[in-house]
Structure formats: C-alpha cells, structure tokens
Structure 1
C-alpha cells in the first residue's frame, strides 16, 4: 500500500469511527466535477486530493550513523522528510440543511483531531491533521476549486495531512574492519666499524722523531 492509499484508508476509518459513526453516508475520493455531480445520489462525504507539497520548514540535513551490536558502523540514516497532502472535504446531500448539519459535525471533528495513526514506522511520528490557514487577501480554495472544475460553489474544508516519510538508510560500501593482524620480524643490530686505537700522548718536551729524508740528486 502506497503512502497516499494509506492516508485515504486512514481518513475513511477515522471518519466512520468518529463523525460518521451511525450515519449512512458514502465516503468518496473522486474529483467533484460536473460529471460526478450529475451521477451522485444520496448522502456523500467527498475527500478530493488537490495538492501534495513538502513541508520545507521541517527539512533537516546531516546523516546519523547506524551501528551493529558490536559498535561497528554499518550504514548511515538520512533525515526524515515531511509532506503535506491537501484534501478538499465537501458534503453532498439532497437538501442544504442535511449538508450543513454534517458539515458542522465534520468541522468540529477536524478541529478536535490533531493526530492520526502513524504511517509504517511508529518511531517517525503520527500523521498530523489540521485545517489550512488562508492568508489574508489571498484567494480561498473554494473559489479556485469550483471555477476550475465547472461546479456550482459550495463550502469546502481544506484539510491538511502531514506525513513523515522515512528514507531507507544507506549501507557502508566497503567491508567493515573486523580485526587487526600484527606481524613482527627480528632484525640484527647494525655493524659499527671499529675505530683505530688512539695513540698515546707525547710527553712534554719530547722531540719529534726524525724522518729519514732521502736526498735526490
């Protein structure tokens, strides 16, 4: 199951166990365009996935080492990355009163619910759920969504689900060092040449020995 499928299934389970408990309503993930609206019948809660973007404010750098039971480095773990999935949550019913009633219940659930079940690795943390803040002066999602789909406008809850994505660790390419072998070899001491015996000093006043000088004529 992919990450998006996991979030779809988690959202549907949380809705049916929470605000939709005991309510006979369909949960759909289709694009609410004019064709879908024409085919729709009965009470329906639609979760249209309209955006996937990285949460750059939580991006981290630097790898951490992974060691085995002997303390040997066997790889490196890369930082977790976080992504936000935007869902346009809408309610479709036969009359506006039923839509408003269920929409209010869903709004309370979105405000009260902050965390969902974690994705795959519990150590990475849970899924974080919140409503997107629309900056002042910017165009709300409802205007952009319905104008692009050609559907009559209706209230939209812009639901954000932040999911931590754990990247697999990298392994050490070379074989880790398991031991060190030391080898010793006996070396003979170097041969130092003997110095000639020192001559005894001449007594004071003694004459130098005369050398035989052969006269050459």
Structure 2
C-alpha cells in the first residue's frame, strides 16, 4: 500500500505544466550524504512515520462481489494508516527553493484527498477516499529539529504532508459448490447419503421402457 501512495504522490506532483521537467521527484531520505550527491533541482518526499488510525479499526468481515454482482468471497475490514511525509525543495539558491516550495504548497493545499485518477493497485481497488492534510501542525512530542538531527542534516524549510490510506484485509474466496454425497457411518458400517437427483422425478421420455405391473389372478365374477 505504501508504494502505491508513493506512486500517487509522484503522479500528483508531476501532473501538469507547473513543474519544470528538469526537476526530479525522489523519495530518499534527505541525509547529508544524499544532499552532497544531488546534482539537479529536486523535490524530496520523505516518508518518516507510519501509524495506524486505531479509531477506524473495525471487526467482522465484508462481502466481496465481482462486476456482475456475484459473491466471490469475504474480506476483513480495511485498516487505515497515517503516512507522514516531509516535503522539501532542493536547488542551488535559497530563493529558488522557496519559490518551488511555494508552488508545491499551492499544488497540495487545495486538495483534501489524492485524485482518483492517480490511485493504483489495492488503494484504487478499495474505492475509498485517500485523505491528505498539507502543512498540518506537528503532533505533540514531535520536533522537526530532532528529525533533521536524526537525518544528519541542517534544518530546512519543509511542508509536512499527512496521507491517510487503507490497507485491504485478506480475501477468503468462496469455495466450490458441493456436489458429492455425504458419507455417514460407524466403525461397523458406512452409508452414503446422496442429494436427490431432479432427473429421477422427471416424466420418462417417449419410447423408454415402462415398469411391468404385476396383476393378481382370480375368478371373474
């Protein structure tokens, strides 16, 4: 599911003519070593946290149908996960980085969910809205300075992006129809019970042999 959200984000960022084709979109950790190897204007979308939304956890199972409405199996309810991304712009000048980051903010802030045309795989199959929050306040106990310190780099302007996406439960397919009889018995005997054959009750076809009727002989009065 995570890689499918990555693909949707990439498609969203590069969709349209607002982004220069020379700008790369990557999902690597923006460490100091990575920054030293960078040689082109870049938008970095770094996934730094994954947490389940426990408030949306459900139990039971859901019916799964095909396009014709036929039952194909049962699936446990999806589980929802918060994916936190750190979005940064990298160029040779701070002014260009701010301009690119501003364009990214304008691109993402106007959306409440990832566009359906960019969804693929199980995320699209779920048929549910994949919510997103842009530049949200950091949760309690979180600090950008600690995050950048863990990455080994210097503090840099960024946009915090939260995606809430479903992970489909496991599908239990419908089993084949039962056509064989049941075998019942004890250690001494076994008896097979068969399902009634509709053909046995049908009217005999023309020309078929009819059972002989035994008549009782007696004196005619």
2:161 paired with 1:159: yes
* Superposed counterparts of 1:1-217, under 5 Å: 3-18=1-16, 20-22=18-20, 24-65=22-63, 75-116=73-114, 117=116, 118-120=119-121, 121-131=124-134, 132-135=136-139, 138-140=141-143, 142-171=144-173, 181=196
The worse-fitting range, judged by mean Cα deviation, of 87-96 and 155-164 is: 155-164
Which structure 1 residue ranges, 5 or more long, are not aligned? 183-217
The worse-fitting range, judged by mean Cα deviation, of 46-55 and 161-170 is: 161-170
**How many aligned residue pairs are there?**
178
The worse-fitting range, judged by mean Cα deviation, of 38-47 and 118-127 is: 118-127
Give the superposition deviation at 1:133: 3.0
Q: Secondary structure at the match of 1:6?
A: helix
The alignment's TM-score, normalised by the length of structure 2, stands at 0.67
Which structure 2 residue ranges, 5 or more long, are not aligned? 181-193, 198-221
Q: Give deviations 1:135-179, integer Å, cap 9, x for gaps.
A: 4x6443x21211112211111212112221222322466965899
* RMSD of aligned alpha carbons: 3.2
The worse-fitting range, judged by mean Cα deviation, of 47-56 and 111-120 is: 111-120
Q: Secondary structure at the match of 1:109?
A: helix
Distance 1:95 1:41, change over 3 A: same
Distance 1:60 1:119, change over 3 A: farther
The alignment's TM-score, normalised by the length of structure 1, stands at 0.68
Equivalents in 1 of 2:132, 2:98: separation in Å? 22
